[in-house]
Amino acid sequence: MTKKQLEECEKKKQEFFSGWQREKADFINYKKKEGERLAEIAEAMKEDLLLRIIPILDSFSLAEKTIPPEEKENKSVKGLLLIKKQLEEFLKSEDVEEIPCTKEFNPYLHEAVEEVASESEEGTIAEEVGKGYQFKGTVIRPAKVKVNKLKS
C-alpha cells in the first residue's frame, strides 16, 4: 500500500468514525427525549385516573353527611367510612392534596359558582360547594365556592 492510499484510508476511517460518534450521540439524545416524553405521558395518564377517582370520594363524602349520628356505629356504615378513608389515603400517597378553603378568593385555586349578597368583605369566600384538588402542586380541579358580594 502506498503512502497516498494509506492517507486516504486513514481519512475515510476518520470520517466513518466521526459519523458513528455523531449518530451515537444523536441516539443517546433520542433515548433521553423519548424517556422524558414517556414519563410525561405516564404522568398525564395518572392525573386522568386520579380525576376519575375523585368523584367517587365526593360521593362517599356526600353519603357520610346524610348518615345520622346514631347510625355511625353500625358495622356497615363503619365499613363504608373505612373505604372513604382508604381512598383519601390513596390520593394522599399519590401526591393529591385537597385545596384548603381559605377566606380569600383565589381564581387560580377557586371557581366562583355563585355570588352571595352579604355584609362581609366583597370577594371573600362565603361557602365551599365542592372540594378542589392539586396533584403535585398543580390544580387539577379547582374548589367550587360561593363568593361574597356587598348588598346593594
Q: Render each residue's pLDDT in the chain as its tens digit; 152 residues.
A: 788 888 898 999 899 889 899 999 999 999 999 999 999 999 999 999 999 999 999 999 999 999 998 888 888 888 999 999 999 999 999 999 999 888 888 889 999 898 888 777 887 888 898 999 999 989 999 999 999 887 76
Can you give the pLDDT at residue 72?
84
pTM for this structure? 0.74
**In sequence order, what are the beta bridge partners of 146?**
114, 127
With the C-alpha atoms ordered 146, 111, 105, 66, is the resulting torsion angle positive or negative?
positive
Can you give the pLDDT at residue 152?
62
Domain spans in the chain, listed from the N-terminal domain onward? 1-94, 97-152
Which one of 3.90.1310.10, 2.102.10.10, 1.10.1660.10, 2.30.22.10 gives the CATH number of domain 97-152? Answer: 2.30.22.10
Q: Cell digits for 9?
A: 484510508
